[in-house]
Amino acid sequence: FQTMTRIVLPQALTAVIPVLVGQFIGLFKDTSLVALVGLFDLLGIARSILANPNWLGTQQEVYLVVAAIYWVFSYTMSYASRKLEVTLSAGRRS
């Protein structure tokens, strides 16, 4: 058990974390597909906001905010992944 937790798992996590985070970011970006199932997603909420007459003429601003939210979340997840990779590979030789 100690061999697994101290040797095998750290090596496996170092190799797998970039792929997992990439998949998670892709899944986050593809949440608009969830609308097919009837659940709420960020783009669907933006569309419902734009359907309100009080928001007429603000399509660009609403979509820019949605794009900024997607970018912030994706960048944050990517940054956290890079930090985790550096932390896990700190004792590893090139």
Q: What is the pLDDT of residues 83-93, one digit of tens each?
A: 888 887 766 65
Report the number of distinct structural domains present in the chain: 1
End-to-end Cα distance, the chain: 27
Q: What DSSP state is assigned to residue 7?
A: I
Whether residue 25 is contained in a domain is answered as yes
What is the C-alpha separation between 92 and 72, in angstroms, rounded? 30
pTM of the full structure:
0.59
Structural domain harbouring 13: 2-88
Nearest to 49 by CA among 58, 94, 21, 79: 58
How many C-beta neighbours within 10 Å does residue 46 have? 19
Q: What is the pLDDT of residues 26-58, one digit of tens each?
A: 887 776 665 555 546 788 888 889 999 998 888
Residue 70's nearest CA partner among 39, 31, 44, 37 is 31
Does 37 reside within a domain?
Answer: yes
In a domain, 16, yes or no: yes
